[in-house]
Amino acid sequence: MDIKNDQLFCNVRERKIKNSKPVLNDSVIREWFHHQRERTSIYYKKILCLPPYWTDDEILKNYKFVNTKRTWDRETKWLLKNIINNHSVSYDNKILNSFLFRVINKSDTLREINAPFDFFKNEHQIH
């Protein structure tokens, strides 16, 4: 952790999180992986300029989706550089700035308003 006063569980009951036993639905996971593979395949076919349609999947053929790897997304790149991987932003401020970013979801706008913001003043913050 970068900041001395960061709280990993942010006031959520740590014991409840550590003792949880989530149940995974195999069919949902298989469907998710299918779409991830197909969307990644579409991405590579697009950059290789292969002719449309890039898939036989009717949903993927007719609707736009975010990139399969968020780090390929221009806006996510800004979020990672300016908030998530910014060591001068405390953990609590990263959460609020990330929320603000996802509400606005436009790096140009956030640059104009001088984000990220220091919502919580922290004397231990690294500058």
CA distance 14 to 35: 33
CA distance 65 to 85: 25
- The predicted-structure confidence for 1-26, as pLDDT tens digits, reads as follows 455 655 677 767 778 878 888 888 99
pLDDT at position 93 is 92
pLDDT at position 66 is 67
- Please give the model's pTM, rounded to 2 decimal places: 0.51
pLDDT at position 29 is 93
pLDDT at residue 28 tops 90:
yes
- The two three-digit tokens of residue 7, written as one number: 């709280």
- The predicted-structure confidence for 58-104, as pLDDT tens digits, reads as follows 888 888 776 777 777 888 899 999 999 999 999 999 999 999 998 99
Do 71 and 77 contact (CB within 8 A), yes or no?
Answer: yes
Do 91 and 7 contact (CB within 8 A), yes or no?
Answer: yes
